[in-house]
Amino acid sequence: MQVNLRESWWIRDVEIPSRLVLAPMAGVSVQAFRRQGRRYGAGLVCSEMVSCAGLEHKNERTLGFLRVARDEHPLAIQIFGSEPSVMAEAARMVVSAGADIVDINFGCPVRKVTKTGAGATLLEDPTRACAIVAAVAAAVAVPVSVKMRRGLENGSRACLELGPRLVDAGAATLTLHPRSARQMYTGEADHSLTAELVELVDVPVVASGDITSRARAQALLATTGAAAVMVGRAAQGNPWALSEIVDGNAGEPSREHVAAELIVFVRETVRELGERRASGFLKKFYGWYLGRGRFPKPFRQELVQVESTEEVITRLLVATPGAAELVERLEAELPDPADEILLDAMPISIYGGG
């Protein structure tokens, strides 16, 4: 069965213009990543997980202002925490920052998060999990979504018990990454659980985990009944995977296109994080963009050694002079940064999120 991924669907009154959602990824889902995801066909993008305690305390260790640009919508901002009242307040803040949907993280397997009673721990604390969803849903007018793993332990089916209860508590959609927290990112996502969850709830379900191609996305949508697929790792440094999945645009991008997208990504990230933080943050992206046989390994290694992002851009332009014109065209299409809403609170990044 052929499924049309360009079809829109709804999370309550929010229209999502394609059946592909860009995954929230801590240490990855900066604004540049989300905007690029939208340009390449994601119908919904999501921020990385933001600590509700960090929002509450306006923590100085935070990583930058929470910014929402005009061309990101529809956008979900994801929050994590374990106290219903603090989560409710955080939800109000992210909505004032411009979120169209508040997403709650019940999937993060990282100990730093689970030991505080947040993230995946809530999969096995249904009373608290439902209290969080109810408090957040009561605090904001926008739809509330929840992103879960299957459970804490391998083989767990906790998500199937919890899912319907979360919907009763006010969740307007559920995303399932059907690995256990113990599995982290090993093994495979078991999407037979996604199909079971779809049967149990009357809200849209989003399938997350191991979706890397159009064929896989089509098959998953057809066999599980999910409303949309969520793509994470396959999109790292590779927005072309998104257009392949949504529109079937197969084929490798030219080196000029790759370099141009990377240059725009670097510039936008420097604007968001500042040069000092961006130069370290961006290093992993060089390998992600320029790997896959696109550029020779020594060139990638050279870029990682370079300290200033201006120098990285210069070397990319020397290697692919044709990229300059594409960069100009891309930048002309991006909205003016002055349109952004700035919130006087910042997200905390804890890598490894869900």
Ligand X SMILES: Cc1cc2nc3c(=O)[nH]c(=O)nc-3n(C[C@H](O)[C@H](O)[C@H](O)COP(=O)(O)O)c2cc1C
* Structure tokens, 169: 């508590």
Supply the Cα-derived Rg of the chain in whole angstroms: 20
Is residue 92 a contact partner of residue 140, using CB atoms and an 8 Å limit?
yes
Q: Does 209 bind ligand X (CB under 6 A)?
A: yes
Of 11, 14, 20, 25, which one interacts with ligand X (CB under 6 A)? 25
Query: Minimum Å distance from CB 78 to ligand X?
Result: 6
Q: Does 233 bind ligand X (CB under 6 A)?
A: yes
Is residue 304 a contact partner of residue 235, using CB atoms and an 8 Å limit?
no
The string of DSSP letters for 256-310 reads HHHHHHHHHHHHHHHHHH-HHHHHHHTHHHHHHHHTTTTS-HHHHHHHHH---HH
Measured from the CB atom, is 10 or 351 closer to ligand X?
Answer: 351
List the x/- string, 248-287, binding to ligand X by CB under 6 A: ----------------------------------------
Measured from the CB atom, is 320 or 349 closer to ligand X?
Answer: 349
Measured from the CB atom, is 120 or 201 closer to ligand X?
Answer: 120
Select from 3-11, 19-27, 83-91, 237-245 the region that touches ligand X (CB under 6 A). 19-27
Measured from the CB atom, is 177 or 257 closer to ligand X?
Answer: 177
Select from 86-94, 207-215, 276-284, 289-297 the region that touches ligand X (CB under 6 A). 207-215
Q: Which of residues 124-153 bind ligand X (CB under 6 A)?
A: 147
Query: Minimum Å distance from CB 151 to ligand X?
Result: 15
Q: Given 46, 52, 108, 130, which residue is catalytic?
A: 108
Q: Does 107 bind ligand X (CB under 6 A)?
A: yes
Q: Nearest 10 degrees: CA dihedral of 332, 270, 36, 74? A: -100
- Catalytic residue status for 46: no
Measured from the CB atom, is 23 or 118 closer to ligand X?
Answer: 23
Q: Does 244 bind ligand X (CB under 6 A)?
A: no
Q: Alpha-carbon distance 281 to 269, whole Å? A: 9
Is residue 314 a contact partner of residue 326, using CB atoms and an 8 Å limit?
no
Query: Minimum Å distance from CB 320 to ligand X?
Result: 28
Of 3, 7, 17, 27, which one interacts with ligand X (CB under 6 A)? 27
Sign of torsion, CA 152 209 29 44? negative
Q: Alpha-carbon distance 55 to 348, whole Å? A: 8
Query: Minimum Å distance from CB 215 to ligand X?
Result: 15
Q: Alpha-carbon distance 101 to 145, whole Å? A: 7
Is residue 149 a contact partner of residue 120, using CB atoms and an 8 Å limit?
yes
As to burial, measured by CB atoms within 10 angstroms (0-12 exposed, 13-18 middle, 19+ buried), residue 13 is exposed
Q: Alpha-carbon distance 292 to 240, whole Å? A: 12
Query: Minimum Å distance from CB 318 to ligand X?
Result: 31
- How far is the CA of 235 from the CAs of 33, 232, 329, in angstroms? 9, 6, 22
- The phi, psi pair for 35, rounded to 5°, reads -65, -40
Position 122: which residue type?
A: L
Of 208, 218, 279, 309, which one interacts with ligand X (CB under 6 A)? 208
Q: Does 352 bind ligand X (CB under 6 A)?
A: yes
Q: Does 354 bind ligand X (CB under 6 A)?
A: yes
Sign of torsion, CA 141 142 146 147? negative
Query: Minimum Å distance from CB 118 to ligand X?
Result: 11
Q: Does 23 bind ligand X (CB under 6 A)?
A: yes
* Structure tokens, 31: 């604004």
Q: Does 54 bind ligand X (CB under 6 A)?
A: no
Is residue 292 a contact partner of residue 286, using CB atoms and an 8 Å limit?
no
Q: Does 48 bind ligand X (CB under 6 A)?
A: yes
Select from 84-92, 125-133, 192-200, 226-234 the region that touches ligand X (CB under 6 A). 226-234
Query: Minimum Å distance from CB 133 to ligand X?
Result: 15
Residues at the contact surface with ligand X, assessed by CB under 6 A? 23-28, 48-49, 78, 105, 107, 147, 177, 208-211, 231-234, 352-354
Catalytic residue numbers read: 108
